[in-house]
Copies of this chain bind each other. A is one copy, B any other.
Amino acid sequence: MSSSQEDRLLQWLRGELRKDGSDRIGDDAALLPKAETAITVDHQIAGVHFPTGLDPRVVARRLLAVNLSDLAAMGAVPRYAFLALSSPPDQNVKSFLQALLKACRQADVELAGGDLARSPVLSATLTLVGGKPPRGRWVLRSNGQPGDRLWLGGPVGQSALGRHLLATGAEFQKSRIQLPPDLASDRCLATAARQAIRRHLFPHPQIDLGLWLGRRRRAAAIDISDGLSLDLHRLCRESGVGARLDVEKLPTSRSFLDLCNQLHLKPLDLMLSGGEDYCLLFSLPASIRPPDSYGCSRIGELTRDRSIRQIEGGREGLLEARGWDHLEARS
């Protein structure tokens, strides 16, 4: 029998998968049944997408969440995952895989294949395959029409705030958040800081909301990964429309604003261009509104005029497309 370290790890992994009644990783490729599919790929690299040294279990969980968010934006049912993982020898690959398997089980996703390697930095690529739900439609970025209402699936800006905190002294270790002394001493600020960091590390992909959108007559959606303004520009470009965004309708909280103030950050910058929010930005015909239980906010509308504008305090101006640029150094 073969005895390579990789083969032993794969044997263990197949044992785990068989407990869930699945085993697709014994061949050169995984075979999937006949279906219409939506496929998405995302990668997370240490030092680029998350701080070097972050617990690999958190990376695993986050990687799946980020990909699930893409499927949510399509109205797809998550089905299969494929992992390409390269990690330094000192990283525990097995604990990464255990965390990924656990997160997959929770999302009803089957880990169906992958590729392992050693490399100087932890880098993980996940390909996710989603299916078309019965009686569902795909939710496309291009489905928007002038007059549609613009909605936001959750708060924006918190994740960027959490990223900032982690980059400036806060730490997440052994499932606990350690804050710098000046924040830790104020209970309200500390609670807001912990919430922002959790929001950053553990995004909540809005799968159910995506499926609900897919059952509507017409809906356009995008998941906010690179920043509300940048992703709004993308949605509008695909739909061939413009938009008017009512900045005052963006959901926010006192504690978020206080924390931004304390850290000398502009809340609106974080909300409009912070990115990594992983909630849905979507449009619906004026006659349809999402159930209150999804916690969505109406933040504007799509327009025939192709410009993308923000309204604040009764004043209207062009909304710049700013956010995370994957090919630029982050400012």
Contacts and interface: CB of A to CB of B under 8 A. Distances in A.
A80 to B, nearest CB: 8
A189 B112 CA distance: 45
A329 B88 CA distance: 10
Contact of A321 (B3, B112, B115, B116): B3
B43 A223 contact: no
Nearest to A30: B39
Given A34-B34, A230-B4, A118 B9 contact: no
A74 interface: yes
Contacts of A129: 39
Contacts of A222: 28
A interface bracket (residues with beta carbon within 8 Å of B): 35 or more
A125 B82 CA distance: 11
A162 interface: no
A41 B113 contact: yes
B325 A6 contact: yes
A219 B76 CA distance: 35
A39 B32 contact: yes
A29 to B, nearest CB: 4
Contacts of A140: 27
A71 to B, nearest CB: 6
Give the oligomeric copy count: 2
Interface in A107-166: 112-121, 123, 125, 127-130, 138, 140-142
A204 interface: no
A114 B26 contact: no
A286 interface: no
Contacts of A84: 41-43, 84, 125
Interface string A90-116: 000100000000000000000011111
A327 B5 contact: yes
Interface string A24-38: 001111111111111
A236 to B, nearest CB: 9
A1 B82 contact: no
A2 B232 CA distance: 9
Given A1-B321, A28-B141, A121-B120, A86 B45 contact: yes
A49 B117 CA distance: 9
Interface of A: 1-7, 9, 26-43, 45, 47-49, 69-71, 73-74, 76, 80, 82-84, 86, 89, 93, 112-121, 123, 125, 127-130, 138, 140-142, 221-223, 226, 230, 233-234, 237-238, 321, 323, 325-329
7 nearest CB pairs, A to B: A2-B321, A29-B40, A2-B233, A125-B125, A29-B38, A28-B73, A4-B325
22 contacts: A2-B233, A2-B234, A2-B321, A26-B142, A27-B141, A27-B238, A28-B69, A28-B71, A29-B70, A29-B128, A34-B34, A37-B37, A39-B82, A41-B114, A43-B86, A45-B123, A47-B119, A48-B118, A48-B119, A116-B326, A119-B121, A127-B127
